[in-house]
Amino acid sequence: HTPSAGRNNSSLHHPKMASSTTTNTTIEDAKRNAANAAVAAHFDLSARYVGIGSGSTITYVVEAIQALSSPLIASINFVPTGYQSRQVILNAGLTDTKFDSLPPNTLIDVAFDGADEVDEDLNCIKGGGACLYQEKLVATHAKKFVCVADHRKLQPRLLTKWRSIPIEVEPLAARAVLAALEALGSEKPQIRAHSMQKAGPVKTDQDNFIVDAPFKTLLLPKDISKSNSLHPAHEGVQGEGEDGVWEVEKLAREIKGIEGVLSVGLFCGMNGEEVLAKGGKKGGQKPVAAYFGMEDGSVVVRRKGEGETKVDM
């Protein structure tokens, strides 16, 4: 886990593609390739507002936008998801617009952000960098959210490799929330602390705590279908906490209902395009697509209902 909200003022580097013929592509090259592919497919120079998420991968998204070298970029407002992403925007010479400065009833055209893990249905775990509340604000007020990550984050189910769900909690309620999470089946949820113990708990940009709650691998709706022979061990399981086993959306609702919880690091439900197609006025939590930089230099794109496609860079 990143120990804090990542107040990073590092300078940006010129974007560079890793060759698809290169073996053992570095993690940084993988992130860069995913960012370049995502920006090429989803960044529109006619956009008015663009969300910029948190974390190291998003630095490469900003680089890819800069590399377009278009004068139109100067007229775009970039909406950060926290202190760190605001520094990336400012260091790149882009126009920073805070979320609460958006005009009423205005949606962000596209939001780019990373993830700690993404499953087959594009549900995400986010919050490893302690920015999940503002990340969710931006994602749910965007016409579409596009996820950018490296191959380590590409998994069939959530909580496969990433072992806990980040939850933003009001400090006064933290211990009560820990008890409630244990009642839901979380094994030893903990308040996230700085690496230097004397520094105390990690604080978010809202001065809240982050609780990391381990759960068993989360199920998808198809896993709890009795007709699904691919997962016979799940037959009859409803994903409602039996033996600590949960379906993604059911667990997200339960955790959000705990008094003192501000935001849950499960991004699930509908994506922005689906919400708008149903007449909604906001966006959705899920990405419309997720881009993963792979070890061989290619990029795997995961889209709802379309499975995965591979793009050689």
Active site residues: 135
Contact 203, 209 (CB under 8 A): yes
Question: What tokens does 216 get?
Answer: 């068993």
Contacts of 274 (CB under 8 A, 6+ apart): 284
Give the Cα separation of 209 and 222 in Å (integer).
34
| Cα gap 17→33, rounded to integer Å | 6
Helix (H, G, I), strand (E, B) or coil at 246: strand
How, if at all, do strands 95-96 and 77-80 pair? Answer: parallel
3-state secondary structure of 138: helix
Give the integer Cα–Cα distance in Å for 276 and 192: 36
Amino acid residing at 9: N
E-strand ranges in the chain read 49-52, 77-80, 95-96, 110-113, 117-118, 124-125, 145-150, 164-169, 190-191, 209-214, 240-242, 245-246, 261-264, 266-267, 289-293, 299-303, 307-311
Assigned token pair, 200 = 């105390």
